Amino acid sequence: MREAFAKTITELAEEHSRILLLTGDLGYTALEVFSERFPDRFINVGVAEQNMVGVATGLAEAGFVPFVYSISTFASLRPYEFIRNGPILHHLPVRIVGVGGGFEYGHAGLTHHGLEDLGVMRVQPGITVIAPADHQQARNAVRASWDLPGPVYYRLGKDDTTTIPGLEGRFELGRAHLIGDGQDLLIISSGSVTMEAIGAAERLSWHGVHCSVMVLSSITPAPLEDLSDALARFPIAISVEAHYLAGGIGSLVAETIAERALDCRLIRCAVRTGPDGVSGSQDYLHKVHGLSSGSIVELALRNLPSSRRQPVTKPRISVIVPVHNQADHVREIVDQYLQALRAIPCSHELILVANGCSDDSPAICSALAARNATVRVINSENKGWGLAVRLGIAEARGDVLCYTNLARTTPKDLTLFLLYGVAHPEVVVKANRKVRESWGRRLGSLLYNLECRALFDLSYWDINGTPKVFSRRHEKLFRLKRDDDVIDAEFNVICRREGYPVLEVPIFSIRRHGGVSSTNYRTAISLYVGALQMWREARRG
């Protein structure tokens, strides 16, 4: 959210000369968009957060709208008395920006763990408190609140890629936003940990528990009416926050239930223990303190009566296999795939897309479909890896989809990837083929991956690696446009742009089941040129 924040206040500063930005010697690689555009309105106060708030208070008294920026603990706790006695008591428009709430600075240790900022700010009347769930909502929250008459505290995450499915950046002061229509359990969350709540809701549905997730980003003013209306419809609610148990949104929800005499049981999922000297990544600390999606699922299942669980509907799997002149091995490999799919406890379909074939592949595919009810065939006179993938996606009926290369994907690898995708529908799973059968292919692959990294800021090392597994929640992947081999790069670019979490699973097999590879110098050049064309189209668009 840091990048979204910096870009947004820069845009606002273009229109409003009163906006200033102060930093406590932090924000390198994040705030340059503002400091380079407005060097005379950017002040590095140094490691002196109390003085920074004092300076901002004077600037606000003089008619400016100063934003002060630091890590959440340093922005909220170190200058706390200055915030209380300055902008709060004098009703001045100082904006305090606390970055990295919760365990986002996990490896830096307890001094950097922002676990009480919302509580200490919420207790003070007269300050607006906002904790956006993703970068899109952060942008809209800043735009909606920058010109409020009194002080504002923003708790911002560091992640500028992940988006909350279904939220679409919506923000309104004093309102909360409900995602989903489940009736069994209400999960209430705030800030970047909301992604764990979304993942838990998805996984709970496979246990027969259908959830709704409430995104509570306007802490003060609190969305009391939205909270009350939602809590009155659920027998049980879980609040999820990367914050100590007392003072955060769990306390806010409990107060609402008590004051309005609502018949809803509340379970608070928060940090319950004090400092213990343990540090680590955010994911690790979420697991330690019960904030991971898996921990939330376990908490919900322990506390929900079995009568609330509906019959489990297992996801359906669609495997899409483009087929081009592969008559020598398509029958054998499809039979092996079907055997592997039967071992997965989910219904499935195998979609064979015969494209531009000049051998007996279409006839063999049709024969396979005739004797296997789970096999479907799509025939296309036109040739193209991307075309075949898109045709298969358009016809797929599954909840979890996979497309893969028939000539290179083993049944064992296919099974592994599908199990990952079924267990973690919130994640896109893709292969990272670690070994190539020749130096030429290794070099060609390396150059293409480096090109895509440079053009699209991708972090993946095997752009064309298959299998690729994704679920219906990754809706933008159902709008692929390329008909050629560059569709794999397009797939990865969409994941990067939309913030879909991607798990790369290594594959070490180099054996080809049959046929002759269509990859040669000509196709390699078409990949390099195609990626460059896609980059140019994106810039024009």
In the chain, where the domains are located: 2-156, 177-308, 317-540
Q: Do domains 177-308 and 317-540 have the same CATH topology?
A: no
Q: Please tell me the CATH superfamily of domain 317-540, with its number.
A: Spore Coat Polysaccharide Biosynthesis Protein SpsA; Chain A (3.90.550.10)
Helix locations, 211-290, DSSP H = 224-231, 249-259, 282-288
Q: Please tell me the CATH superfamily of domain 2-156, with its number.
A: Thiamin diphosphate (ThDP)-binding fold, Pyr/PP domains (3.40.50.970)
Task: Evaluate if residue 513 carries a pLDDT over 60.
Answer: no
**How far is residue 318's CA from residue 130's CA, in Å, rounded to a whole number?**
41
pLDDT in tens, 479-501: 999 998 899 999 999 998 888 88
**CA-CA distances (angstroms) from residue 315 to 203, 459, 466?**
11, 29, 21
| Number of residues that make up the chain | 541
Q: What is the mean pLDDT of residues 454-466?
A: 80
Task: State residue 540's pLDDT score.
Answer: 75
Average pLDDT score over the chain: 89
For the chain, what percent of residues have pLDDT higher than 70? 94
Task: State residue 516's pLDDT score.
Answer: 54
Q: What is the mean pLDDT of residues 441-449?
A: 77
Q: What is the mean pLDDT of residues 312-337?
A: 88
Task: State residue 207's pLDDT score.
Answer: 81
Q: How many CB atoms lie within 10 A of CB 176?
A: 21
| The overall pTM is greater than 0.75 | no
Task: State residue 401's pLDDT score.
Answer: 95
User: Vertex 198, ends 291 and 31: CA angle to 5°?
Assistant: 80
Q: What is the mean pLDDT of residues 17-25?
A: 93
Q: Which of 217, 241, 42, 197 is nearest to 136 (CA)?
A: 217
**CA-CA distances (angstroms) from residue 240 to 163, 191, 306, 347, 363?**
17, 10, 22, 33, 55
Among 360-364, 456-460, 513-517, the minimum mean pLDDT is found in 513-517
Q: Are 264 and 234 in contact (CB under 8 A)?
A: yes
Q: What is the mean pLDDT of residues 134-159?
A: 94
**In which region does residue 383 sit, left (phi positive, over 0), alpha (psi from -120 to 50) or beta (all else)?**
beta
Q: Which two tokens stand for residue 288?
A: 């330690």
Residue 204: helix, strand or coil by DSSP? Answer: helix
Among 40-49, 174-183, 268-277, the minimum mean pLDDT is found in 268-277
For the chain, what percent of residues have pLDDT higher than 90? 57
Domain 177-308, CATH = 3.40.50.920
- Find the Cα–Cα–Cα–Cα dihedral 376, 380, 383, 388, rounded to 10°: -40
Among 36-50, 113-127, 357-371, 439-453, the minimum mean pLDDT is found in 439-453
Task: Evaluate if residue 363 carries a pLDDT over 90.
Answer: yes
Task: State residue 18's pLDDT score.
Answer: 94
Task: State residue 249's pLDDT score.
Answer: 94
Task: Evaluate if residue 10 carries a pLDDT over 90.
Answer: yes
pLDDT higher at 218 or 436:
218
Q: Which two tokens stand for residue 291?
A: 């904030």
With residue 402 as reference, give the H or E element that holds it.
strand 400-403
Encode burial over 472-493: b for 16+ CB neighbours within 10 A, e otherwise: eebeebeebebbbbbbbbbbbb
Q: E-assigned strands of 115-175?
A: 128-130, 152-156
pLDDT higher at 485 or 442:
485
Q: What is the mean pLDDT of residues 28-52?
A: 90
Let me know if 346 is exposed, middle or buried by CB neighbors in 10 A (0-12, 13-18, 19+).
middle
Please state whether the peptide bond connecting residue 467 to the residue before it is cis, i.e. omega within 30 degrees of 0. Answer: yes
Encode burial over 153-168: b for 16+ CB neighbours within 10 A, e otherwise: bbbbbbbbbbbbbebe
Q: What is the mean pLDDT of residues 31-36?
A: 90
Q: How confident is the model at residue 343 (pLDDT cuts 50, 70, 90)?
A: confident
